[in-house]
Amino acid sequence: MEILPRFTLEFTSLAINFFILTIVWILYGQLASLFRHFCSSNPVVSSTWADKYIGEPKSTVAAITDAYYRYSKKSQLFRVEDGIYVLPPSAFAEARKVHHETLSSSHAIDDTIFLNYFLGRDHADTILLPMLVKYVQKTPEYEGKGKEQILSGVIGRLVGLMFAAIDTTTMTTTHILYDLISNPRSMYVDAIKKEYQEALAKHNGVWTVLALGELKHLDSFIKESQRMHAVGLVLGARKVMPKAGYTFSSSPESPGSETLFIPAGARVTMPLQGVHFDPQLYTDPEKFNGFRFADDPVPSSQPSDKFMSFGHGRHACPGRNLALVVLKLIVIEFLTNYEYKEIERPADMIFGTARMPNFRAKVSIRRVRD
Ligand code: HEM
C-alpha cells in the first residue's frame, strides 16, 4: 500500500526536475547563441535556412564520391531514394523534349517535403492575390475545391517561388563570395575590377543589362562557382505522370544505351554532380578555374547537357537572367565598397542531395571607410 504514493512522489519530482532541466537547457542554448552572436568579431557572410536542418550533414567527400561512382555507369539509371531515379546522360536529349503532362516538374516539386512541411494550412485566409487565386482555381486538381484549399494552393505556390528565388540566390552569392576571398586577389579580383570599371566608364556610370553583359570575366567566375557549387548534387526533378509509366528509348547518341522504364509516380532527376565534374567535359574538373568560361560564346545562363546549375529542359529556371544581374551587381558592390581577409575555401555542406555553402565558416569583411 505504501509503495504507490512513494512511487508517485518520486515520479512527480523526477518530472519536475526534468522540466526544470529542459528549461535551463533551452535558456542556456539561447544565451550561448546570443553570446556567440555579440562576441563574434568576424561577421558571417550568410546564414541560410539550412540552419534549421536536423542532424549532421553527410561529409562532402562521401556524398560526392557516391554521386560520381553512380554517374560513371553512364547508361544506367540509379536510385537516390525510393521513387527517385537519376537519369543517365543517354536519356538527357529525350528528357528535355518530353511534354510536361508526361514528366511534370510541378508535381515533382509539390510532392517534395518542403511544401508540406512549411505550408501552414491555417494561415491560408490571410493572403489574397487574385491572379494566383484564379490560376490555382483553373488547375484540374483544384477544380470544385473550397476556399481554404484554393488558398492553400496559392500559398504553396508562393512558398515554392520564395524557395526557388531567394534561397538559391543567397546560397549562390555565398559560394561566389567564398570563391572570391579564398583566391589571391591578383588571380581574379584585379582583372574583374578592371573589367567592370572600364565597362562602367564606357556606359556613362550607369549599369544596364547590356553593360553587365560585357563582363566576360565576372560572368565566367560566377559560372565556374556555380559549376562547382550548384544547389544540388542532382537537379531538375520530374514526376512520371502516365499510369503505364514511361520508357526512355535507347539513345542513338549513346551506342549501347539501354531503354529505361520508370514507373508511374516515380521522380527522375539529372546527375548534375557527375556531369559538372566529368573529366571528359571539363579539363581538371576538380580545380577552380575562375576564367574557364571567359572565351566561351555560350551565355552563362544557358542550361545545357554540360551545365545544369539552373536545371535543364522545358522547366529550366525562368529567373536565371534576373539572378545573374543580381549576382553581378552584388559582386561589384562587394569589390568596390568592402575589404576582406583571405581565407581557405570553406568546404560545402551536403544534406542528402542538397548542397549548401558552409554556414559555420567565419569571414572578415568590412565596409571600406571613406
Ligand atoms: C542563382 C540563383 C538561382 C538558381 C541557382 C536557380 C536554380 C533553379 C533550378 C535548378 C531550377 C529547377 C529547374 C528544372 O527543374 O529544370 C529552378 C526552377 C525555378 N526557378 Fe530558379 N534559380 C535561381 C534563381 C531564381 C530566381 C531569382 C527566380 C524568380 C525570380 C527563380 C524562379 C524559378 C522558378 C519559378 C522555377 C520553376 C520553373 C518551372 O518549374 O517551370 N529562380 N531554379
**What mean pLDDT value characterizes the chain?**
78
What is the tens place of the pLDDT at every residue in 76-134? 888 877 777 888 888 888 888 888 778 877 666 555 433 343 443 333 333 335 667 77
On whether the CB atoms of residues 223 and 60 are closer than 8 A, the answer is no
**Percent of the chain residues past pLDDT 90, beyond the cut:** 36
> For residue 132, how far is its CA from the centre of ligand 1 (angstroms)?
18
CA pair distance 282, 277, nearest whole angstrom: 7
CATH superfamily for domain 58-367: Cytochrome P450 (1.10.630.10)
- At residue 309, the pLDDT reads 96
CA pair distance 73, 40, nearest whole angstrom: 47
The protein residue with its alpha carbon nearest to ligand 1, atom 24, reads 165
What is the tens place of the pLDDT at every residue in 288-310? 999 999 999 888 888 999 999 99
Chain mean position to CA 292: 22
Q: What is the CB < 6 Å shell around ligand 1?
A: 105-106, 161, 164-165, 168-169, 172, 231, 235-236, 309-313, 315-319, 322-323
DSSP class of 319: T
Which of the listed residues 115, 301, 310 should we mutate to test ligand 1's pocket, taking the one with most ligand atoms within 8 A of CB?
A: 310
CB atoms within 10 A of CB 112: 14
Chain mean position to CA 26: 31
> For residue 213, how far is its CA from the centre of ligand 1 (angstroms)?
20
Listed in order, strand segments (DSSP E) in the chain are 78-81, 84-86, 103-104, 235-240, 246-248, 260-262, 267-270, 338-340, 349-351, 354-356, 365-367
Which of the listed residues 103, 317, 320, 325 should we mutate to test ligand 1's pocket, taking the one with most ligand atoms within 8 A of CB?
A: 317
The protein residue with its alpha carbon nearest to ligand 1, atom 30, reads 319
- At residue 20, the pLDDT reads 57
pLDDT category, 16, cuts 50, 70, 90?
low
- At residue 1, the pLDDT reads 39
The protein residue with its alpha carbon nearest to ligand 1, atom 40, reads 315
CA pair distance 53, 352, nearest whole angstrom: 11
Prediction pTM value:
0.77
CA pair distance 107, 99, nearest whole angstrom: 13
> For residue 312, how far is its CA from the centre of ligand 1 (angstroms)?
10
CA pair distance 324, 118, nearest whole angstrom: 27
What stretch of H or E contains 161? Answer: helix 147-162
Residue 104 φ/ψ, nearest 5 degrees: -100, 130
CA pair distance 74, 168, nearest whole angstrom: 28
Q: What would you measure as the largest C-alpha separation in the chain, in angstroms?
A: 94
Dump the DSSP string for 106-169: HHHHHHSHHHHHH--GGGGGG---HHHHHHHHHSGGGTT--HHHHHHHHHHHHHHHHIIIIIHH
On whether the CB atoms of residues 177 and 189 are closer than 8 A, the answer is no
39 labeled part of a ligand binding site: no
Among 58-67, 115-124, 229-238, 258-267, name the one with the lowest average pLDDT.
Answer: 115-124
What is the tens place of the pLDDT at every residue in 191-245? 999 999 999 999 999 999 899 999 999 999 999 999 999 999 988 888 898 899 9
Note the residue count of the chain: 370
What is the tens place of the pLDDT at every residue in 22-47? 555 555 445 444 444 434 433 333 33
74 has pLDDT over 70:
yes
